Structure 1
């Protein structure tokens, strides 16, 4: 296995944990800066359309029909008018 494939495997494993990058890299015996470099490199190489967001749920939502809620991976939640799709699109691209 080459280095990039090995690091990609570690990055995917990291995403399934609740650990910080520093704790994870210490547990795996690799330097934090090395892990962080590969984490960012592989994240930036994601194919278009793979943003890490979850699919939009339209049934059973507690958000009123006239609003949509954007929840970023860091936990920040924003409610925006559902009719303003350009604003919604812009907020999604910010992350």
Structure 2
């Protein structure tokens, strides 16, 4: 098992254990300094994982190979491919 995966699993186990960090380390034979290091890495990895929507900017090749489906409020659906984002924006405004 990957060391990071193992340590992250231990951290999650510690969170639900109700034990202090030092007591948990003592029970598992882990040096507290090593455990604190991995807790910091674990917290940083959680901060780097975005939640919700991400803004993406397609490059020009993607824009012309993309397919779009527009659904208007009146129920009309329009599927297009091979056009740029400016043309799609114009269709959205219809």
Structure number having the greater helix percentage? 2
Q: TM-score, normalised by structure 2?
A: 0.49
Which structure is larger by alpha-carbon Rg, 1 or 2?
A: 2
Q: TM-score, normalised by structure 1?
A: 0.48
